[in-house]
Structure 1
Amino acid sequence: MTNRYINLILCLFTSLIASAQVADSYYLPQTVQYNAAIPTPRQHLGYQVGEWHVSHDQIVGYMKKLDEVSDRITLVEYGRTYESRPLLLLTITSPQNQQQIDRLKAEHVQLADPARSTGLDVSKMPAVVWMGYTVHGNEPSGNNSALLAAYYLAAAQGPAIDSLLNESIILLDPCINPDGANRFANWVNAHKSQNLVSDPASREFNEVWPNGRTNHYWFDLNRDYLYQQHPESQSRMVKFHEWKPNLLTDHHEMGTNSTFFFQPGVPSRTHPLTPRRNVELTNRFGQFQAEGMQRIGSLFYTQENFDDFYYGKGSTYPDVHGCVGILFEQASSRGHAQEGSNGLLTFPFTIRNQFTAMLSTLRAARAMRVDLLNFQRDHYREANADDVRAYVFGNSNDRVRTWEMVNILRRNQVAVYELNRDETLDGRTYTRGNAYLVPLAQPQHRLIRSMFEKRTTFQDSLFYDISAWSMPHCFNVPYSEARTALTPGAKVEANPFPKGRVISGPVGTDYAYLFAWDSYFAPRAASELMRKGYRLKSASQPFSAQVYSQSQPMRFDYGTVQILANGQDPVQLRNLLATLAERDGVDFYAVSSGMTPDGIDLGSDNFKNMRQPRPLLVVGSGVSNLDAGEVWHLLDTRVNVPLSTVDMAQMSRVNLDRYNVLVLVSGDYNGLPTEKIRQWVQNGGTLVAMTDAVRWASEKGLSTARLKRIPTDTTGTRAYADYERYSGSRVIGGAIFQTRADLTHPLLYGYKTNLLSVFKDNTVFLEKSRDPFATPLYYTPTPLVSGYVASANERLFRDTPAIVVNTLGSGRVIAMADNPNFRAFWYGTNKLFLNALFFGNQIGAFARGSSDEND
């Protein structure tokens, strides 16, 4: 028999195995009976779990059915996604517990309150277990196994399950990211053959850009647990804190050629603020997981690859809340059956592993119930051991960023207080009414420290995710550490949006209105005014003006926007401004004269015409969908600027004259029509290139930015086994650096201090520019603020440009070494990007009466 014939038979046999519909017994333990009144997933769906990828509406339908027929389950819709898909949470416990669920919940959350937890008898309390599935939409073994988990908990019969449900309250979130999961399910189901194809090159296993991993705006929701910028996260974390679970499982997938991972991760990469007891409990859970995987003969590993450092991840966020987070990573079939280095990997096999991990988890939680409850109580009773007693933060020039900081802290159950009086710390004065106090003498002190600290020393140099996320630096809000106790003012029980005002005289007497560019939402107000036909000008020089209600002239800074009232319906304009002031937190000041007591007059050529941004964002294969999504989300949800997104492959056919700004985020742009773009810029367009896109713009001669060559370390010899550690240590996975800003430059309009923290997660290092006016933002000589960076890397960008700007014909090219829109929570540098859109065409337009700024 020839080898070719043998291979053909093997392929046919493999196809038959892969396409066969597995029995319920493949998944479900046969050592128990099942309630026949509870429909199996197969009975409800009309197909076996794993035969097709379940759509979110099918998940919703099945979970509602279980809620209807089982007295063990109650279901709530806790939120909606951007695409208005429901987010569900099932509370699963014994019928007796269901009848007193509110009391049990109220008692359980007392474990997080040191004032009330001492008298609790934990031996009589159920443990609370949270099971979360498929935060990444194209990791489908999670949400598909959730069907089986819910069925098992609803239908299994016998003393063991009765005891489990009496001693546990299980919170099951069947799909954390419905939008991404549905996008992926549609893809793989649409490309499934009746005779399953396992060739990894086949279209079924290779989603098109942006793929189903992310949510509607292409964000990784598994990085949003801490700052909670998306509705899915905000809604889910309300439920998390409503219950404060003892254990949280986070079900993921990884590459096809791997096996199955469960925690603990790499021991040296656990955040130092995570209690040692948490690690010990995680290790105990691992024993149960190993037993479960061995029982079904599945390969697995632990203490490699993954870590527990960044508290914004789903499996790490619990670790700073007296909860144990457990990450599961299953090798992904990325379809229905795919060849891998460990043989044929079928979708049902991946689902069975996730279901088995769930069963092992529940066995462990029951066995460790009292230990988990005691650990949570002890976690919140431990006092702050740091010499920092409180953090004070806030500023008055942009109340919106301070307001959002307070929102985030309160969403994380952190107590925030008003100042009792003005405080001066570190040479800064914080005024009562504009600043806030966060004492560390509260249960969440570990979380607070992680959100405010500047950490620059680490046990390990490798990180699975970012190494720094200090909130005041993310938001560019002044803050200080208080090392003595401060008397707090009133606790913040509500945090209303800081509305703006319209300060004007009698109707018809207003010559013009002025508003500062300081407010975070000033670009949104400006965009709407221009969209409604109002002509706006921005000040390229500071000045003073006499405004209504003030006896002395008021000082206005660079970037102040002027709205000419002459010729406008005064009532209509004032009503519009009142609406924008309330919505956007912007103060509008009326002036009755174009003459100013100091600085430029309102008719000066130093007031530049503003243009309405008409941006185009290049997307598609080769472009970072995460970075692209950040631009889309910012412009669409915060600034209300319509954004066109065009696939790179279509750019040669697009009429660029429709746009005045072209945005390139991190990516490989060798497929772009360079000469077409060059001509467009020369005709007056603004090109904004960020991170890796700077390399392309420089190589094509569009940008004058020159990238530094990263030297290769060729000294001595190194052990082969150390390669991963060495190469990983040279990566900047995400750290915070300090820059010095030119506040007179249009890209820095709205900023008040010349030191600005930026986030860097790349190795784009720029040479100093030959043009002394081309670099509005520079890294300082000692730039590291927080996070890990190899000393060799830090030396490369000390005292070098973070932004380089050049003219090209009548247009501008703005090269940004870093991403100012990182993960939607870097509020402090969003304005850099928005200024590029709103003021980029004004850069370098110094000639009197120059027309190229009026496009």
Structure 2
Amino acid sequence: MIKSLNFKLAAFALLAAVSAVVDARAQEQLRSPSDYLGYELGSKWTPHHRVMDYIRHVADHSSLVSVKKYGESNEGREMLLAFVSSREHMDRLEEIRRNNLKRTGLTEGAPAADSPAIVWLSYNVHGNEPSSSEAAMKTLYELARPGNRDARRWLRDAVVVIDPMLNPDGRQRYIQWYRQTAGELPNIHPEAREHHEPWPGGRTNHYYFDLNRDWAWLTQHESRVRVAEFQRWMPHIHVDFHEQSYEAPYYFAPAAEPFHHAITDWQHDFQYTIGKNHAAYFNKNNWLYFTREVFDLFYPSYGDTYPMFNGAIGMTYEQGGHSRAGLGILKTEGDTLTLKDRLTHHVTTGLSTVEVSARHAEEIIEEFSNYYRKSNREPTGKYKTFVIKGSNNPDKLEALFELLDRHQVAYGKAKKEQSLTGYNYTTGKEERFQLRRDDYLVSAYQPKSILARIFFEPRPELEDSVTYDITAWEQHYAFGLEGYAMTKKVEVASFEGPVKEVAGLRTEKPYAYLARWQDTQDIKMLADLLRKEVDVRHARRAFVLDGEQYAAGTLIITRTNNRTLGGRFDRLVQDIAARHRQQLMPVETGFVKSGADFGSSSVRHIAKPRVALLSGRSTSPNRVGEVWHFFDQQINYPLTLLRTDYFDDVDLHNYDVLVLPAGSGSQMLDEQQLQKVKAWVSAGGKLIALGGANKMLVDRDDFSLASRALPSDTSKVEIDTFGAQQRQRISDFNAGSIFKVRMDSTHPLAFGYDSHYFSLKLNSDAYKFLDEGWNVGVTGEESHMSGFAGYKAKERLKNTLVFGVQRMGSGSIVYLVDNPLFRAFWHNGKLLFGNAVFMVGQ
């Protein structure tokens, strides 16, 4: 037995010695980014595939690094994570991950005490802020480099996760343009063409979405795969590397006010600890920097705030540069900013973050644990239970629950029926209501307590009204759901099974099939039916048939109008409905009890619209992307993008619908082009103006849209001070808040809605009611519900047009003053846009 044990020990020692030799040889072969790429890092842009190759090279030649592919971009470019730590930690990486989840309560079990801090570094979420991916390679090398004693010391107390490129498609778009544009040597003069990126730019992803505003809403593929991996790890520190104007110094934490009240004192204070560490390095190198300005921590869908609301320390680091800086640019003060400067600053703050995190690892882990301990036992915030009524549309419920599932926010059903008091999201008042067993509950007593609060808090407290982004996003409003917020804790029963049950059909060959018109899923089914050449009609008036009430907008698919489909008709329609999990109601007659019979002129054919979208110079890439994504990814319906630079040559008679996105106002279409559009509308076309695009049409000949000015107040004279100018201006500013809009549900633009709609209003642009046309959605005297709007803006926005339709000749113009597709997360607005495309003007 002793000989056997000695043999095993000797064998183990030999194996360890061999492993050490192999590891040493691999380490010797580890090359710096410059050696591997064949050029000095910072002298050229590194394309996506070579960045990925280098990440893998480091993993292949260092036992301190491993790589995981976690997804692909829309255009098929791979997305990688690199994990860096000590040999000891790397050998038990999965154990560390699971142990950390135990601290949150998302995984059962008691966490071990000896855990490292988990530091996550994210690079290049904006594609044309590209220095950070270059910095990612250098940062990874420095952490893995043999002989880097500082890094070895840090990695004993930290696991570092590096995502070198969050937006591969946008970055490659920028890099490819720059390489095609620049000469052998960079031209540092700001007016050179290489400093003026063309439309749409590389900032956004394939669909022109800003991924840094999508962390919470997860509308984009890249966001979903990234956040899924984030949820698997739940890091303690997260840094999002960015760039700003090339004239600006470096920005790092601490962030600016306002901080959302859900952010803890420790999270706030530790940003100062990290910032002071960075400052020491910047002071030593005489680099300029600033803190506590511009970049606040309120809107929840950023790469700094989203980690904050998941218990981490989230931070944005901003290097001067952006797309205009290229490989080098001459600044106003006479200095030349180079790519090497930019990546060096990012490497410095990245390594400094690892250093300070390792130094405070024990404190970080303890505070992280406290964060989740309190979430489960003593949740913060006024409201402790959020109610989502079970009577809501099941498609909307499923869409909300899919989002909550992705964020691991728990929900369930009411355990018992009872009478309670809560904040009614619809009325904005505290009211008594009856809680029923089929109602859904989200309790604040759960690991993701703070995120639940962020999603459902009716009116987030805002200490400082000067903010960087929108100030309201509550999910009852976003999804069009009825419910309540309660200050009382209510017990939640576990919920299993689908929200929506789709019953089988009652007959094989009915007279017609009916389908209710209520949500985006209904648009998607309609789009599929039209693509398959199924004749679909819709009721312009409510009706009653077989004891069932059907609202205006109900889809009617008759057998007689689909004779060309022959024997395929029933199977085709039923298969399409099943694919979209929509309930068909087969009926044996077109004779209704009340309303219009199916042969009435009030039952209109839905023509298959040919839709075009204006894009290109002077349009906003983000706003173009919202429409493109809606058609291409959400309802799968054909869309043609037309560019402004050849719009003169476009025959608009090839299209039935033209969508105008927001952009540079009158610069989108000149007077001659606008006349062309008017002639097309008069001949039967439909123009949809989205959000800011309405500015191009306001107060123009033949357009009914007119601006509404705020009456001047001459009762009091105030002397403005220079230092207070920003705060004086915000009295007339609406930072993105929620308004209750009265809807005319008898108009096709409002089919599927009740008497009101909660709109995300993004500015203080105010328009009069249409003198000629239909005022389908309007504000009232007290319409503001949530978020910041200055007192002058609130006054201006009273009794104004939000959604309207004007006839022009044989065609129509749809004014959508508030953009219902904004960032694709305002789910309840999508039906409104679907109505504009498919219902209006039929």
TM-score using structure 2 length:
0.91
Establish whether residue 630 from structure 1 lines up as the match of residue 595 from structure 2. Answer: no
Establish whether residue 615 from structure 1 lines up as the match of residue 616 from structure 2. Answer: no
Q: Which moved more, 1:371-380 or 1:496-505?
A: 496-505
Q: Secondary structure at the match of 1:599?
A: coil
Aligned-pair distance for 1:545?
A: 1.9
Aligned-pair distance for 1:594?
A: 1.8
Q: Secondary structure at the match of 1:840?
A: coil
The residue that corresponds to 1:604 in the other structure is: 600
Aligned-pair distance for 1:577?
A: 2.5
Aligned-residue RMSD, C-alpha: 2.2
For residues 378-417 of structure 1, what are the structure 2 equivalents within 5 Å? 378-382=370-374, 383-396=378-391, 398-417=393-412
Any conservation in 1 of the 2:142–2:151 contact (CA below 8 Å)? Answer: no
> What CA distance in whole angstroms lies between the structure 1 residues aligned with 2:545 and 2:623?
41
Q: Relative to structure 1, is the Cα distance of residues 584 and 175 closer, same or farther in structure 2, using a 3 angstrom cutoff?
A: same
Aligned-pair distance for 1:53?
A: 1.2
Aligned-pair distance for 1:482?
A: 3.1
> What CA distance in whole angstroms lies between the structure 1 residues aligned with 2:555 and 2:803?
24
For residues 657-696 of structure 1, what are the structure 2 equivalents within 5 Å? 657-667=653-663, 668-672=665-669, 673-696=673-696
The residue that corresponds to 2:733 in the other structure is: 731
The residue that corresponds to 1:15 in the other structure is: none
Aligned-pair distance for 1:427?
A: 6.1
> What CA distance in whole angstroms lies between the structure 1 residues aligned with 2:107 and 2:42?
49
Alignment size in residue pairs = 794
The residue that corresponds to 1:746 in the other structure is: 748
Q: Give a deviation string over 1:785-817, Cα, whole Å, max 9, x none.
A: 111000110011112221121100001011121
Aligned-pair distance for 1:162?
A: 2.0
The residue that corresponds to 1:760 in the other structure is: 761
Q: Relative to structure 1, is the Cα distance of residues 394 and 334 closer, same or farther in structure 2, using a 3 angstrom cutoff?
A: farther
Aligned-pair distance for 1:712?
A: 7.4
> What CA distance in whole angstroms lies between the structure 1 residues aligned with 2:216 and 2:748?
33
Q: Give a deviation string over 1:234-261, Cα, whole Å, max 9, x none.
A: 1111121211111011100000110100
Aligned-pair distance for 1:38?
A: 0.4
The residue that corresponds to 2:66 in the other structure is: 74
Any conservation in 2 of the 1:499–1:581 contact (CA below 8 Å)? Answer: no
Q: Which moved more, 1:601-610 or 1:475-484?
A: 475-484
Q: Relative to structure 1, is the Cα distance of residues 199 and 818 closer, same or farther in structure 2, using a 3 angstrom cutoff?
A: same
Aligned-pair distance for 1:730?
A: 3.0
Any conservation in 2 of the 1:397–1:518 contact (CA below 8 Å)? Answer: no
> What CA distance in whole angstroms lies between the structure 2 residues aligned with 1:231 and 1:360?
31
> What CA distance in whole angstroms lies between the structure 2 residues aligned with 1:776 and 1:83?
40
- The AA in structure 2 aligned to 1:531 is R
Aligned-pair distance for 1:695?
A: 2.1
For residues 16-415 of structure 1, what are the structure 2 equivalents within 5 Å? 35-113=27-105, 120-121=112-113, 124-266=114-256, 268-332=257-321, 334-342=325-333, 343-382=335-374, 383-396=378-391, 398-415=393-410
Structure 2: stretches of 5+ with no match in the other structure: 1-24, 421-430
Aligned-pair distance for 1:119?
A: 6.7
> What CA distance in whole angstroms lies between the structure 1 residues aligned with 2:155 and 2:448?
30
The residue that corresponds to 1:832 in the other structure is: 832
The residue that corresponds to 1:776 in the other structure is: 776
The residue that corresponds to 1:7 in the other structure is: none
> What CA distance in whole angstroms lies between the structure 2 residues aligned with 1:421 and 1:575?
42
> What CA distance in whole angstroms lies between the structure 1 residues aligned with 2:234 and 2:700?
54
> What CA distance in whole angstroms lies between the structure 1 residues aligned with 2:790 and 2:75?
42
Any conservation in 1 of the 2:262–2:380 contact (CA below 8 Å)? Answer: no
- The AA in structure 1 aligned to 2:84 is I
> What CA distance in whole angstroms lies between the structure 2 residues aligned with 1:84 and 1:463?
36
1:487 to 482, 491, 502: 491
Aligned-pair distance for 1:186?
A: 0.7
> What CA distance in whole angstroms lies between the structure 1 residues aligned with 2:680 and 2:81?
51
> What CA distance in whole angstroms lies between the structure 2 residues aligned with 1:226 and 1:654?
39
> What CA distance in whole angstroms lies between the structure 2 residues aligned with 1:712 and 1:250?
44
> What CA distance in whole angstroms lies between the structure 2 residues aligned with 1:569 and 1:158?
73
Q: Give a deviation string over 1:308-349, Cα, whole Å, max 9, x none.
A: 111110011111222101210000053111111342111111
Any conservation in 2 of the 1:192–1:336 contact (CA below 8 Å)? Answer: no
- The AA in structure 1 aligned to 2:755 is N
Q: Relative to structure 1, is the Cα distance of residues 377 and 729 closer, same or farther in structure 2, using a 3 angstrom cutoff?
A: farther
> What CA distance in whole angstroms lies between the structure 2 residues aligned with 1:312 and 1:187?
29
- The AA in structure 1 aligned to 2:640 is S
Q: Which moved more, 1:82-91 or 1:523-532?
A: 523-532
Aligned-pair distance for 1:389?
A: 2.6
The residue that corresponds to 1:704 in the other structure is: 704
Q: Relative to structure 1, is the Cα distance of residues 637 and 487 closer, same or farther in structure 2, using a 3 angstrom cutoff?
A: same
Any conservation in 2 of the 1:616–1:659 contact (CA below 8 Å)? Answer: yes
Aligned-pair distance for 1:230?
A: 1.2
1:594 to 590, 597, 605: 590
Aligned-pair distance for 1:399?
A: 1.6
Any conservation in 2 of the 1:384–1:445 contact (CA below 8 Å)? Answer: yes
Q: Relative to structure 1, is the Cα distance of residues 604 and 586 closer, same or farther in structure 2, using a 3 angstrom cutoff?
A: same
Q: Relative to structure 1, is the Cα distance of residues 639 and 662 closer, same or farther in structure 2, using a 3 angstrom cutoff?
A: same
Any conservation in 1 of the 2:524–2:635 contact (CA below 8 Å)? Answer: yes
> What CA distance in whole angstroms lies between the structure 1 residues aligned with 2:330 and 2:222?
34
Any conservation in 1 of the 2:155–2:358 contact (CA below 8 Å)? Answer: no
> What CA distance in whole angstroms lies between the structure 2 residues aligned with 1:157 and 1:535?
72
The residue that corresponds to 2:15 in the other structure is: none
Q: Relative to structure 1, is the Cα distance of residues 42 and 276 closer, same or farther in structure 2, using a 3 angstrom cutoff?
A: same
Aligned-pair distance for 1:414?
A: 1.1
Q: Relative to structure 1, is the Cα distance of residues 182 and 394 closer, same or farther in structure 2, using a 3 angstrom cutoff?
A: farther
Q: Relative to structure 1, is the Cα distance of residues 50 and 178 closer, same or farther in structure 2, using a 3 angstrom cutoff?
A: same
Q: Give a deviation string over 1:106-135, Cα, whole Å, max 9, x none.
A: 1122221299787753xx321100000010
- The AA in structure 1 aligned to 2:159 is I
- The AA in structure 2 aligned to 1:401 is K
Establish whether residue 652 from structure 1 lines up as the match of residue 661 from structure 2. Answer: no
Aligned-pair distance for 1:729?
A: 4.8
Any conservation in 2 of the 1:34–1:157 contact (CA below 8 Å)? Answer: no
Q: Relative to structure 1, is the Cα distance of residues 304 and 34 closer, same or farther in structure 2, using a 3 angstrom cutoff?
A: farther
- The AA in structure 2 aligned to 1:664 is L
Q: Secondary structure at the match of 1:782?
A: coil
Q: Which moved more, 1:736-745 or 1:576-585?
A: 576-585
1:563 to 549, 553, 557: 557
The residue that corresponds to 2:11 in the other structure is: none
Aligned-pair distance for 1:680?
A: 0.2
Aligned-pair distance for 1:170?
A: 0.4
Aligned-pair distance for 1:428?
A: 5.8
Q: Give a deviation string over 1:705-759, Cα, whole Å, max 9, x none.
A: 21113567894221112223333453322111111111111011112x2121101
Any conservation in 2 of the 1:635–1:642 contact (CA below 8 Å)? Answer: yes
Aligned-pair distance for 1:528?
A: 2.0
Q: Secondary structure at the match of 1:698?
A: coil
Q: Relative to structure 1, is the Cα distance of residues 115 and 252 closer, same or farther in structure 2, using a 3 angstrom cutoff?
A: closer
Structure 1: stretches of 5+ with no match in the other structure: 1-32, 547-552, 843-855
Aligned-pair distance for 1:464?
A: 0.7
2:449 to 445, 449, 462: 445
- The AA in structure 2 aligned to 1:263 is A
Q: Secondary structure at the match of 1:590?
A: strand
Any conservation in 2 of the 1:184–1:212 contact (CA below 8 Å)? Answer: yes
Q: Secondary structure at the match of 1:70?
A: coil
Any conservation in 2 of the 1:558–1:749 contact (CA below 8 Å)? Answer: yes
Any conservation in 2 of the 1:417–1:488 contact (CA below 8 Å)? Answer: yes
Aligned-pair distance for 1:571?
A: 5.0
- The AA in structure 1 aligned to 2:814 is I
Q: Secondary structure at the match of 1:780?
A: coil
> What CA distance in whole angstroms lies between the structure 2 residues aligned with 1:358 and 1:634?
37
Q: Relative to structure 1, is the Cα distance of residues 690 and 713 closer, same or farther in structure 2, using a 3 angstrom cutoff?
A: farther
